[in-house]
């Protein structure tokens, strides 16, 4: 049962929104209320029966403010949705309430002087296209860039394709500002600039509703998609790492897979040699010849090359990287899951090897190379992180693997929880809580997801 008077809320909302943008049909609500949480067997069990009581399709900032005022009065739990491509239940309601779908707020206001200003509902594919026409590209995008929204990526994601050069969303001055709508009787629009805006990003929409953001862009480049392989994991790693570490080579992606993983990439199988580990690169076309020469010198097999056209046309190697890798692996074997690991700025090869040696039949490495996280200024080095495929047996065994990682200096951003504090590193958590107290005084935004916030008006998940 709803924790509020549903019929009264709907009656008042009907004076603000047309009937077709108030979602009540069971099937539509189920779809609106879910993301790719089922990547985790733990979250699948915990969240499968959770859904909103109704959904609202919002198209303008003014409309949003009117709706929020009503929801605030009736104390309705509020969850925000973009493209719905998250992986750990960021948007799934724990206490029912409403899903606000902001995909209708999809304007690109400007692409000027290397800065994008856009609304949260615009798809990243659209941004890439419009930015490309002006000679720019996004600094980092998720592997779900075709479907994911700008606001969803900022609120629920952290990095992706391009992070090898620019780091993640919160790195290296990538963000310029975030403009949010508060949840109050009279909702306000607040613009937060500079490093302070990071406090409302990657917070699952718990401390403000993103209505606009400004993000720095990179110079648009012409990339080639390259595939390499080698039978020896260590040999391939050393060469792949050398390409990643060479800042003179302009690139957008450096990814390495265990050979056991790439067998799941059915459309690409003809390019692989059985039993060999594989590296994917997106390299500026001006550097391809040098990279090929480097591979030949190191004894690395060159498998295939594809241009990355503009406007983009498949096939995309990015469709097999970051968390798309997990999706392909699940298609082959539904009894797998994954982790999100950081092997540190140094010694990452040794830590990755240690983990593989400890769990040889359960851990299959998928490595992503990224620029080090620097909250301000230029990136200073390249690190290696992992989204390894994990053979799932029990939650207890999964937790044993996670504990082993922590005990051996491997950072874990746990994708098997929907709780903000349990899922990653939040050194600025006190500030994030402070902003929530300012911008969401009743604690209505995604209640239960920021578990250390002292005010949760709802007692038990429904």
Please report, for the domain that includes residue 46, its CATH number: 3.30.43.10
* Helix 233-245 with 348-358: angle, nearest 10 deg: 150
b/e map 420-430, b = 16+ CB within 10 Å = bbebbebebbe
Average pLDDT over residues 193-217: 94
Residue 149 confidence (pLDDT): 97
- Edge-first strand order for the sheet with 336-338 is 336-338, 389-391, 363-364
Phi/psi at 338 (5° precision): -155, 170
Residues 273 and 392 in one domain: yes
Residue 373 confidence (pLDDT): 66
Strands 115-118 and 189-193 come out as unpaired
User: What pLDDT, in 10s, does the model give residues 103-155?
Assistant: 999 999 999 999 999 999 999 999 999 999 999 999 999 999 999 999 999 99
Residue 271 falls within a domain, yes or no? yes
Structure-block tokens of residue 203: 């917070």
Residues 261 and 381 in one domain: yes
Considering 369, 396, 412, which residue would you say is the last residue of a domain? 412
Give the Cα separation of 413 and 346 in Å (integer).
18
Considering 219, 247, 276, which residue would you say is the last residue of a domain? 219
Considering 77, 101, 125, which residue would you say is the last residue of a domain? 101
Residues 196 and 323 in one domain: no
> Which is nearest to 3 in space by CA: 77, 78, 79, 99?
77
Residue 205 falls within a domain, yes or no? yes
Residue 455 confidence (pLDDT): 75
CATH number reported for the structural domain that contains residue 296 in this entry? 3.40.462.40
Residue 451 confidence (pLDDT): 86
Residue 14 confidence (pLDDT): 97
Give the Cα separation of 256 and 270 in Å (integer).
18
Residue 419 falls within a domain, yes or no? no
For residue 364, is pLDDT > 80?
yes
Residues 301 and 284 in one domain: yes
Domain that holds residue 45: 6-101
For residue 342, is pLDDT > 80?
yes
- pTM across the whole model: 0.94
Give the Cα separation of 207 and 141 in Å (integer).
23
């Amino acid at each position: 049962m709803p924790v509020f008077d549903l019929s009264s809320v709907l009656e008042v909302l009907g004076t603000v929104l047309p009937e077709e943008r108030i979602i009540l049909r069971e099937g539509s609500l189920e779809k609106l209320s879910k993301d790719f949480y089922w990547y985790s067997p733990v979250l699948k069990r915990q969240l499968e029966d959770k859904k909103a009581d109704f959904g609202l399709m919002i198209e303008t900032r003014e409309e949003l403010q009117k709706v929020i005022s009503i929801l605030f009065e009736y104390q309705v739990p509020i969850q925000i949705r973009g493209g719905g491509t998250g992986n750990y239940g960021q948007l799934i309601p724990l206490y029912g309430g409403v899903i606000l779908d902001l995909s209708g707020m999809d304007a690109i206001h400007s692409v000027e002087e290397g800065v994008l200003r856009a609304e949260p509902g615009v798809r990243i594919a659209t941004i890439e296209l419009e930015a490309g026409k002006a000679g720019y590209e996004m600094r980092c995008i998720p592997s779900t860039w075709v479907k994911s929204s700008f606001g969803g990526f900022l609120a629920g994601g952290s990095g992706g394709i391009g992070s090898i050069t620019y780091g993640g969303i919160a790195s290296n001055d990538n963000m310029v500002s975030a403009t949010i709508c508060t949840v109050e009787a009279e909702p306000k629009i607040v613009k937060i600039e500079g490093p302070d805006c990071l406090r409302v990003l990657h917070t699952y929409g718990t401390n403000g509703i993103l209505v606009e953001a400004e993000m720095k862009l990179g110079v648009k480049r012409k990339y080639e998609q390259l595939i390499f392989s080698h039978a020896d994991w260590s040999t391939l790693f050393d060469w792949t790492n050398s390409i990643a570490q060479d800042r003179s080579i302009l690139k957008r992606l450096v990814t390495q897979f265990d050979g056991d993983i790439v067998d799941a990439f059915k459309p690409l199988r003809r390019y692989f040699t059985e039993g060999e580990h594989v590296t994917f690169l997106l390299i500026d076309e001006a550097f391809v010849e040098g990279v090929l020469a480097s591979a030949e010198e190191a004894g690395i097999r060159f498998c295939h090359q594809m241009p990355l056209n503009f406007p983009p046309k498949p096939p995309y190697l990015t469709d097999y990287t970051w968390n798309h890798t997990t999706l392909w692996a699940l298609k082959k074997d539904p009894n797998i899951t994954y982790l999100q690991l950081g092997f540190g700025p140094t010694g990452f090869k040794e830590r990755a090897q240690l983990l593989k040696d400890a769990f040889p039949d359960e851990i299959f490495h998928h490595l992503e190379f990224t620029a080090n996280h620097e909250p301000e200024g230029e990136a200073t080095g390249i690190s290696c992180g992992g989204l390894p495929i994990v053979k799932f047996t029990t939650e207890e065994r999964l937790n044993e693997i996670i504990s082993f990682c922590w005990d051996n200096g491997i950072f874990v951003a746990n994708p098997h929880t929907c709780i903000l504090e349990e899922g990653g590193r939040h050194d600025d958590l006190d500030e994030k809580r402070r902003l929530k107290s300012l911008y969401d005084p009743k604690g209505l935004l995604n209640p239960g997801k920021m578990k250390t916030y002292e005010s949760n008006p709802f007692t038990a998940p429904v």
